[in-house]
Amino acid sequence: MNILVIPTNDWMRAPGHGHIDCIAERLAERGHNVYAWYFDLYRYEQVKRRPRRVKLVRPRTFWVPDPSVFYTINAFVQSPAMFKAIRDLRIDVVINENIINGLASFLVSGRQVLKIFDFSDYFPESASIYYTNSSQAVEKMVEGVSLAITKLNIKFSNVCLAVCNSLLNTIKTIDRTKTSYLLTNGTDTRDAFSSRTEQKQTSGDDSSDKTMVIMGVIDNWLDLITPLSALNTLVVRYPKIKLVIIGPWRKEEYKRQVKEFVQVHGLNSYVEITGYVSDKRLSEYLKLADCCIMPYETSNFSSIIRLPEKLFVYSAYGKPILSTPLPEVAALRTEHVFFYHDAAELVEAASSILADQNVSSRMSAQARNFAREHDFKALAERLEQILLANISRAPAQNN
């Protein structure tokens, strides 16, 4: 099949990758011709990853720094080039994870093209988070417009994908007749599994080094203060403990708040903030971790529908996980995840892992078993089956 992906972001320079990106690369490994539309949004940032077997389609871009304005303008500017690319590359399937430019791709695609909408996030909230410093009226306007565009993407698609059951149910609420499938986030187990012998062995000795890791794009959808508060207690028992926070920060103001908390509580020698690191360096940090943390805010709607990628990445490295109570994660009944509601519960959960090698080893094995089921290779096979089951139906759809 000839497949065109409309990704959520800049494929090479964005601080993170989209849900469909790595799965698409596995589809290319399976012999399909996979193309990805290239959004040159972060043109002044360093290259963070290169495409693997996926061919980038690079249209002329009108660049502005504001993401919403960038995508809106280029949805119009690039539509003719998108129409030409779909025709010239003989595209069979368009997979869209970008509600503005992806909608444009649906509109310029012929009826013979299978149109897939990848509902990978609750886009109204993920869009409005860029405007938290604006007035409430602006935030609500952004949410309303994003929701309307999301509904249009569902309407004009032939098939929808969802990363969790909550979003799958949302699709049915908007269009109960829409063909839709669950396709979760995943992980690449190849590097993690190949380094099993290099994994750190947890010791119950209080004087030995202990490491906890938080990774991902850092924004105020994460609650870093609770883990730092727990660390303030844990350092009494584990004087060599360290909390490593890995990933790019979206807002300097939040970074200043976190650093101020660290400074005020005298935690400087116990906290390492790395910023963005390469995949190789991230792998090294994860190998050395005793446990990993998913510290999401639970006061927003996204926490209800969140099934985060870091769950799968941590699991691939065999790490016990400490998480705020996320309903989608709880529904998986994962045995290697401990939930906490506050700093005291986080201290208790972390101590049970750090103090007992048997607990740590058991949870590590459970984590790896979970990761095997959600490897990108398995997800690509699942997506391939979905495409093959629906591609012959595309001309019959009413778009």
306 Cβ contact list (under 8 Å, min separation 6): 164, 296, 326, 328, 329
Shared domain for 223 and 278, answered yes or no, is yes
- Total domain count, the chain: 2
Same domain for 181 and 208, yes or no, is: no
Q: Write down the pLDDT at residue 397.
A: 43
Return the pLDDT at 66.
85
The answer to whether residues 140 and 231 belong to one domain is no
pLDDT tens-digit profile of 311-354?
999 999 999 999 999 999 999 999 999 999 999 999 999 999 99
The tokens describing 167, both together, are: 């979003």
For residue 386, give the nearest of 193, 186, 117 by alpha carbon: 117
For residues 91 and 228, membership in a common domain is answered with no
Summarize pLDDT for 95-117 with one digit per residue, the tens: 999 999 999 999 999 989 999 99
Task: Look at residue 228 in the predicted model and tell me its pLDDT.
Answer: 97
Query: Are 216 and 332 members of one domain?
Result: yes
Distance of CA 345 to the CA centre of its chain: 26
CA distance 220 to 80: 38
Residue 252: per-residue pLDDT? 87
**For 181-231, how does the pLDDT look when each residue is reduced to its tens digit (9 = 90+)?**
999 999 998 877 665 444 555 555 665 799 999 999 898 889 999 999 999
297 with 172, same domain? Answer: no
User: 322 and 367: one domain?
Assistant: yes
* Domain co-membership, 210 together with 177: no
Q: Are 386 and 336 in contact (CB under 8 A)?
A: no
20 and 60 share one domain: yes
CA–CA distance, 96 with 164 (Å, rounded to integer): 17
Cα–Cα distance for residue pair 259/228, rounded to 1 Å: 10
Q: Is 52 in the same domain as 64?
A: yes
Its domain, for residue 180, covers 2-186+376-396
Claim to verify: residue 229 and residue 336 sit in the same structural domain: yes
3-state secondary structure the chain: CEEEEECCCCCCCCCCCCCCHHHHHHHHHCCCEEEEECCCCCCCCCCCCCCCCCEEECCCCCCCCCHHHHHHHHHHHCHHHHHHHHHHCCCCEEEECCCCHHHHHHHHCCCCCEEEEEECCCHHHHHHHHHCCCCHHHHHHHHHHHHHHHHHHHHHCCEEEECCHHHHHHHHHHCCCCEEEECCCCECHHHHHHCHHHCCCCCCCCCCCEEEEEECCECCCECCHHHHHHHHHHHHHCCCEEEEEECCECCHHHHHHHHHHHHHCCCHHHEEEEECCCHHHHHHHHHHCCEEEECECCCCCHHHHCCCHHHHHHHHCCCCEEECCCHHHHCCCCCCEEECCCHHHHHHHHHHHHCCHHHHHHHHHHHHHHHHHCEHHHHHHHHHHHHHHHHHHHHHCCC
Clarify whether residues 83 and 194 are in a common domain. no
Per-chain mean pLDDT for the chain:
90
Q: What is the pLDDT of residue 370?
A: 95
Task: For residue 127, give both structure tokens.
Answer: 């869009």
Query: Sign of the CA dihedral 165, 24, 174, 399?
Result: negative
CATH code, 295: 3.40.50.2000
Residue 243 is predicted with a pLDDT of 97
Backbone angles phi, psi at 79, to 5 degrees: -55, -45
Q: Give the residues of the chain that fall short of pLDDT 50.
A: 196-198, 395-399
Residue-level pLDDT at 192: 74
Of the candidates 321, 339, 317, the one whose C-alpha atom is nearest the C-alpha of residue 330 is 339
Pairing assessment for the beta strands 159-162 and 114-119 based on DSSP bridges: parallel
